[in-house]
Amino acid sequence: MTKSNRRRIASLVRHGLLGLWAVIAFFPIYWMVATSFKPDTQWFAWPPVYFPDPPTLANYLNVWFGAEQYASTQYAISSQKPLVSLGNSAIIATASTVLAVLAGSVIAYGVSRYRILSEARMFQLLMLRMIPPIVVVAPLSLYYSAVGLLDTFTGLILVYFLTSLPYAVWMTKSFIDEVPREIEQAAEILGASRWRTMFEIVLPLIRSGLVATFLFILILTWSEYLLALIITKTQVTTVPIELSKYQGSTEGRVYGRQAALAVGITVPLMIVGLIIRRHLARGFSFGMVRR
C-alpha cells in the first residue's frame, strides 16, 4: 500500500468516526427544533415525521405569546408565564454571575499576587461546587423560609453566587496569572494603592477573560434545576422549572409546545457557549492544562 493511499484511508476512517458522532450529537437537537415546528398531529405520529409538514409557528405563538387562536382548545396554554420566567432567569443568572465574577476576580487577584489563600484552601473552595446540592437543599429551604428568603430573587442569587464562586476564582486566576507583574510594580512605585492597581490596571487588562468567565458561569447558572425547584415556588420561576411544568400535566403529551419552549431557552445558551468556545477548557481545567 502506498503512503498516499494509506493517508486517504486514514482520513476516510477519521471522517467516518467523527461524522458518526456528529450525527449522534446533532440529531436530538435537530429533533427538538423540528418538533417545535410540527402541527399537533405529527408530534407523536407513527411512523415518526422527520420533517415538519407543513412547518407551523403555532407552538411558538402559543407558548411564548399565549396566542389562543393558534391552539386547539385541548393544548391551550394561555398565560405568558414563560416570558416572565425567561426574564426571571435572565435577572437571576446575570446578577449572581456578575457578583461571582466580581468577587472571584478580587479573590483571584489576592491569591495570584499575595497568596491570600493557600493552594490547599483553593482546592477546598471547590467543595462549594462539588458537594451535591441535594444533600443541603432541604434544610436550606427551611432556613430560607425562616429568614424570608424562600421564593425570592435574593435567595436564589445568593446560592448561585456561592456555588459558582469556585469556578469564578479559578478561571479569573488563570487569566491574572498571565499578566506580567512589571506593570503593577510600576503602578506601585507611582503610589497606587493595591485596590487601585487591581481595579484600574490588572482587571481592565484581562477584560476579555472576565467576559469569558462571566459567560461560562452564566451557562452553568442558566440551566440549574434542583435548587430552583426547591427554593422557588410561584414568585420566582426560572426557565428550567417553567419547562418542567409542561410535563405530566393533564393534557398529556404536548411535545410541540415543550419543544418550542425548549428551543427558546436553549438557543441563548448555545449562542453564549459558541462565543466562548475557545475558553471553555480553561473554565474546567483548574490550572491543570498548561499552554
What residues numbered 1-40 form the site for another protein, per CB under 8 A? 11, 14-15, 17-18, 21-22, 24-29, 31-32, 35
Q: Would you count residue 175 as binding another protein (CB under 8 A)?
A: no
Which of these ranges, 68-76, 177-185, 201-209, 210-218, lies near another protein under the rule CB under 8 A? 177-185
Coarse DSSP helix, strand, coil percentages of the chain, rounded to the nearest 5 percent: 75, 0, 25
Site for another protein in 216-245 (CB under 8 A): 219, 222-223, 225-226, 230, 239-240, 243-244
* CB 267, min distance to another protein, A: 10
Closest contact distance (angstroms) between CB of 45 and another protein is: 9
Judged by CB under 8 A, which stretch of 51-59, 62-70, 90-98, 256-264 contacts another protein? 256-264
- The nearer residue to another protein, 68 or 186, going by C-beta atoms, is 186
Contacting residue, 158, 201, 205, 211, with another protein by CB under 8 A: 158
Task: Considering the complex, state which of residue 69 and residue 277 has its C-beta at the smaller distance from another protein.
Answer: 277
- Of 77, 203, 236, 265, which lies in the binding site for another protein, with binding defined by CB under 8 A? 265
Three-point CA angle 213, 155, 157, nearest 5°: 15
DSSP letter assigned to residue 50: S
- Residue numbers 99-138 binding another protein by CB under 8 A: 103, 106-107, 110-117, 119-120, 123-124, 126-127, 130-136, 138
Whether residue 216 contacts residue 170, with contact meaning beta carbons closer than 8 Å, is answered with no
Cis peptide before 28 (omega within 30 of 0): no
Please, which residue, 45 or 68, has the CB nearer to another protein?
Answer: 45
3-class SS string, 86-115: HHHHHHHHHHHHHHHHHHHHHHHHHHHHHC
Q: Which of 158, 164, 172, 163 is nearest to 107 (CA)?
A: 172
Backbone angles phi, psi at 62, to 5 degrees: -70, -50
Q: List the interface residues with another protein, window 41-70 (CB under 8 A).
A: 43, 46-48, 50
Among 73, 74, 234, 247, binds another protein (CB under 8 A): 247
Q: What single-letter amino acid sits at 267? A: V
Residues ≥6 apart with Cβ < 8 Å to 63? 77, 82, 257, 260, 261, 264
57 φ, ψ to 5°? -95, 5
> Rounded to the nearest whole angstrom, what is the least distance from the CB of residue 253 to another protein in the complex?
8
Q: Which residue has the cell 476564582?
A: 169
Q: Answer for the pair 156, 225: CB distance below 8 angstroms, yes or no.
A: no
Minimum CB distance to another protein smaller for 68 or for 271: 271
Binding residue for another protein, selected from 100, 156, 212, 262, defined by CB under 8 A? 262
- State in angstroms the smallest separation of the CB of 70 from another protein: 20
Q: How far is CA 154 from CA 36, 140, 233, 273, in A?
A: 34, 14, 14, 26
Q: Kindly indicate which of the ranges 58-66, 67-75, 200-208, 258-266 contains the residues binding another protein, using the contact rule CB under 8 A.
A: 258-266
Q: Which three cell numbers mark 63? A: 407558548
CB of 69 to another protein, least distance (A): 25
